[in-house]
Amino acid sequence: MEELTIENLEKCFRAASTKGKKYVGVLVQMEGFPKPEVIINENENFDSKFAYYKKAYDENLVLRSFNGIKITGFTYGDSFEAIEHDLVV
């Protein structure tokens, strides 16, 4: 997996878009929750969703408004199963 930075998240979204992938999956760890959640972003939303992530998260993928939320993984694929395979342990 790539280093967890906003630049690499952007590369992930760009690669998914270029390759025509259906989804980008983002793994988010939240303080107080035992397991992270997987957020599935659909292709049609890639541009606006990345713009949101870039505004809301810092260089190290920590939520700017609350440091207890952090992106801990990301990937792309054509099915929920592919995303799950890459992100869920």
pLDDT tens readout for residues 43-78: 999 999 999 999 999 999 999 999 999 999 999 999
Mean pLDDT taken over the chain: 96
Q: What is the pLDDT of residue 1?
A: 56
- Report the pLDDT averaged over residues 3-10: 97
Question: How many other C-beta atoms lie within 10 A of the C-beta of residue 62?
Answer: 16
Residues 24-40: pLDDT tens digits?
999 999 999 999 999 99
Strand order in the sheet with 23-30: 37-42, 23-30, 69-77
Query: DSSP label at 43?
Result: G
pLDDT at 2 over 80: no
Q: What is the pLDDT of residue 59?
A: 98
